[in-house]
Amino acid sequence: MLMIQDIIAKAEKESRLTPDEIFELMSITDKGELEELYAAARRVRDREFGKKIFTYGFVYFSTYCKNNCTFCYYRTSNTGIDRYRKSKEEIVQLSASLQDAGINLSDLTMGEDPQMYKDGYKNLLDIISAVHDEVGINIMASPGALPQEMFSKVRDAGADWYACYQETYNRGLFESLRLNQSYDDRRNQKIWAMEAGLLAEDGMMIGLGESVRDRAETIAEMSSLGCAQVRAMTFVPQVGTPMQDFTPYDSTEELKAIAIMRLLNQDKLIPCSLDVEGIAGLRTRINAGANLVTSIVPPSQHLAGVAQHELDIENGNRSVEHVFEMLEDMGHHHASSAEYRSFLNAHRPKRVA
């Protein structure tokens, strides 16, 4: 059997590992070996991308949702929480201010809000086209699962990306988390999006009750689906949900996942989300090989995060200025919109649907 050092060297060189080898890396506990893993991930990232880091603003424009995911604060059964829905004009204005501040993309995210879904998803499509036509910033749509015929419409409206996270590729676990949702349908979302010429993002959550083997298999599946962006986020337990008493994980498993995903997806985007540990989590994730900061949220706009609906938002720590400063401090710099667009052009799937 290969030693940890050999597995890391193989991944760095060939960008490929078996699920068993991923399992070995996900099982590392030794501090020295972890450091070797992160160092290899940084070498690969810096070779592919230099010192530039991409940045996404997070516009969670409707926190209404008809679904009942057991891990999510915004699940429909969590009644009595503060919810909001932004108008098209507000969403355009928020996206314009992100664009002016030098952010590469506006991530237009919502719960599965029936208001947005009605009349053939008219409101959702109108919002995407308004941001595209009036602002011109790059757009990620994170609207939840859609019927197959919607993807070409989302692309035509002006979205560059479609994001939809499987959370886990353990089918049984998926079904216990995403209640009354289809595993196969959610997996297909990414494929349908790419067929319609959209870039796609997949993601996993850590700390939901999955085994180390599940994590390894999820990383293997995500890395072979063809998505240009893959993420890992540590589960943050939410009050008022069935999982509120879960013991939260620290970030170690997420950092390992980020580093392994980097070795297997060398020229892809891998986020450092500020939505898990706030700004305190930036440095460790960049050091594990992330090349994109997501969930930048401007203060004073009454906007929420998903996993951390308040942390570091109103104090300005998730603001553009603060994130840019921290990146400079670490010897990186935020990418320009021209640099970001050249990534998109190089990775955009050919439209076949």
| Partner interacting with residue 295 (select from ligand SF4, ligand SAM, ligand MD0, none; CB below 5-8 Å by kind) | ligand MD0
The CB-side HSE value for 281 (13 A sphere, CA atoms) comes to 26
Question: At its nearest, how many Å lie between ligand MD0 and the CB of residue 72?
Answer: 10
The CB-side HSE value for 273 (13 A sphere, CA atoms) comes to 25
> Interface with ligand SF4 by CB under 6 A: which residues?
65, 67, 69, 72, 74-75, 111-112, 144
Site string for ligand MD0, 88-107 (x = CB under 6 A): -------------------x
Question: At its nearest, how many Å lie between ligand MD0 and the CB of residue 309?
Answer: 10
| Count of H-run helices and E-run strands, the chain | 14, 9
Question: At its nearest, how many Å lie between ligand MD0 and the CB of residue 163?
Answer: 4
Question: How far apart are alpha carbons 100 and 154 in whole angstroms?
Answer: 24
Question: How far apart are alpha carbons 130 and 219 in whole angstroms?
Answer: 35
DSSP 8-state symbol, 167: B
Is 189 a binding residue for ligand MD0 by CB under 6 A? The answer is no
Write the DSSP string, 15-57: S---HHHHHHHHT---HHHHHHHHHHHHHHHHHHHTTEEEEEE
Question: How far apart are alpha carbons 294 and 70 in whole angstroms?
Answer: 23
Residue from 8, 25, 44, 205 touching ligand SAM (CB under 6 A): that is 205
Nearer to ligand MD0, 142 or 266 (CB): 142
Question: How far apart are alpha carbons 261 and 223 in whole angstroms?
Answer: 7
Residue from 54, 61, 165, 324 touching ligand SAM (CB under 6 A): that is 165
DSSP 8-state symbol, 200: E
Stretch that binds ligand SAM, among 95-103, 104-112, 147-155, 295-303 (CB under 6 A): 104-112
Residue from 55, 109, 123, 295 touching ligand SAM (CB under 6 A): that is 109
Task: Kindly give the pairing relationship between strand 161-163 and strand 138-142.
Answer: parallel
Is 279 a binding residue for ligand SAM by CB under 6 A? The answer is no
Is 294 a binding residue for ligand MD0 by CB under 6 A? The answer is yes
Is 295 a binding residue for ligand MD0 by CB under 6 A? The answer is yes
Contact residues toward ligand MD0 (CB under 6 A) are 58, 107, 109, 142, 163, 273, 275, 294-295, 305-306
